[in-house]
Amino acid sequence: MNPSSLPNHRVALLIQYLGTNFSGWQRQLHHRTVQGEIEDLLSKVQGRPVILHGAGRTDSGVHSSAMVAHFDATGTIPPQKWAAILNTQLPPDIFIRASTGVAADWHARFSASYRRYRYTIYTAALPNLFIHPWCWHYYHAPLSVETMRGVLEPLVGNHDLAAFQRAGSKRRDSLVEMQEVACHREGDFIYIEMQAKGFLYGMVRLVVGMLVQVGRGERSPQEFTQIWQQKQRQEVKHSAPAKGLCFLRVGYPDHPFPPELWFDTQPKFQLNR
């Protein structure tokens, strides 16, 4: 059968990946990426080049518990079958939780209403091998969660956060619509979450790096606020390690997947002393 005569349909994928051994989400020449791995497999199955569009881009070493992406399929494979087909051939650090059909004008990136990230800090004195790949082990000084939360909350709203943008960004501006923030402790773990319409390049890790400076008393809350309000990028010198960051979820006005599959699927750690 002529491929041009086969039915066309758009398929959404719900993707988890461990970012440790990836050079980020976006395809790069001579580097292993999540998009590259999935696109290559889709192209192999379809017998033609396939482009995968993600809801966001994560940096090298950053994880995801519910990335959403879409591609345009040709053929008779039902949309809900793609997850099982891909999982049989994908490497063990990528897993497709589900697949489904979406409208032809639905877009994983442009249809999204928010993205949410979670950063995990482990504060116990001794490291733990079994949580090491997913946390920043910070034990150098006590951290005041209340102070960190206090300087984080004013970021909610529409602000120019150029101070927290890494060099190399192609964005035309540095305005961010921050919708929600959270910072709390559970035992030896501190969880920091940020939700926005979109994020600047490297933003979350730069914010967390400075939050830790505030939490340990190295910088005052007033300094933190002044630095981002006055766009003093030169004062933001420390980026938190990538391994503590997870792309937690992406929201849509009418999400293509049920909440139990995507809403909060990065497990939190619970250690018994």
Query: Looking at the structure, do residues 131 and 97 belong to the same domain, yes or no?
Result: no
- 42 lies in some domain: yes
The pLDDT tens digits for 130-151 are: 999 999 999 989 999 999 999 9
**pLDDT at residue 168, as a whole number:** 73
Same-domain check for residues 85 and 131: no
> Which pLDDT band holds residue 1 (cuts at 50, 70, 90)?
very low
Catalytic: 59? yes
Question: Catalytic residue among 40, 59, 160, 173, which?
Answer: 59
Which domain covers residue 78, as residue numbers? 3-102
**How many domains are contained in the chain?**
2
In percent, the amount of the chain with pLDDT more than 90 equals 91
Domain final position from 57, 73, 102: 102
CATH code for the domain of 170? 3.30.70.660
The reply to whether 267 falls in a domain is no
- % residues pLDDT > 70 (the chain): 97
Q: Looking at the structure, do residues 172 and 209 belong to the same domain, yes or no?
A: yes
Chain mean pLDDT for the chain:
94
10-13-16 Cα angle (round to 5): 165
Residues 6-52 have pLDDT tens digits of 679 999 999 999 999 999 999 999 999 999 999 999 999 999 999 99
Q: Are residues 176 and 60 in the same domain?
A: no
pLDDT beyond 90 at 171:
no
Q: Which pLDDT score, from 0 to 100, does residue 4 have?
A: 54
Do 150 and 61 have their domain in common? no
Q: What is the mean pLDDT of residues 222-229?
A: 97
pLDDT of residue 174 exceeding 80, the answer is yes
- The 10s digit of each residue's pLDDT in 55-104 is 999 999 999 999 999 999 999 999 999 999 999 999 999 999 999 999 99
pLDDT of residue 5: 57
Q: Are residues 141 and 237 in the same domain?
A: yes
pLDDT (tens digit, 9 = 90+) per residue, 245-272?
Answer: 999 999 999 999 999 999 999 999 987 6
109 domain-assigned: no
Domain boundary pick from 37, 70, 102? 102
Question: For residues 159 and 181, what is the distance between their CA atoms, to the nearest angstrom?
Answer: 14
pLDDT at 117 over 80: yes
pTM for the model stands at 0.94
